[in-house]
Amino acid sequence: MFQSELLVRRAKAQDAERVALLCRQLGYAVSLPVVKERLNLLATDQNHVVYVADLPNTPVIAWIQVCIVSTLVVGRQAEIYGLIVQEGYRGYGVGRLLIQQGEQWAQQKGYSTIAVRSNLIRDQAHRFYEQVGYQQFKAQAVFRKGLGAVIN
């Protein structure tokens, strides 16, 4: 329905307001200044990319963040760090198009696999990832501890 009208492009700092709104739909309340600062920072990082999807009269209905991470046990790999499609536009191929763009970016960087982590409560997201060819290979608990310092 929307795919022929969609424009996928790299995110810009000017997209921060819409990106922040979508972050809230994903369950993360991030302020506009923080999102703007992070978009500016990521724009200069060769190991990260953020793409957005626009419709002609509706900018930024979705975004995806893909990055290259390095670990001792896995080495370097591509990972999707976030993907959200605005409610009302889900089920029309927007997420699939962003996934394809992210995968293409990772391939151009020289990576043959890409991973994504998805909260255990996001059953709909799990079904989506399976539909676009991802296979679950691990379940884990994630722990967090505050360190007292403010780090953006």
Residue 118, Cβ density class (10 Å: 0-12 exposed, 13-18 middle, ≥19 buried): middle
* DSSP H or E stretch at residue 9: strand 7-10
Render each residue's pLDDT in the chain as its tens digit; 152 residues: 566 789 999 999 999 999 999 999 888 889 999 999 999 999 999 999 999 999 999 999 999 999 999 889 888 899 999 999 999 999 999 999 999 999 999 999 999 889 998 876 788 888 888 899 889 888 887 788 888 866 55
Give the integer Cα–Cα distance in Å for 3 and 93: 7
In whole angstroms, how far apart are CA 145 and each of 11, 58, 148?
Answer: 30, 38, 9
Report yes or no: 77 and 111 within 8 Å, Cβ to Cβ.
yes
Tell me the residue type at 123: D
Q: What are phi and psi of 74, to 5 degrees?
A: -110, -25
CATH of 3-131, one of 3.90.190.20, 3.40.630.10, 3.40.630.30, 1.10.10.10: 3.40.630.30
Give the integer Cα–Cα distance in Å for 10 and 5: 17
Question: What pTM does this model have?
Answer: 0.88
Delimit the domains of the chain by residue range. Answer: 3-131
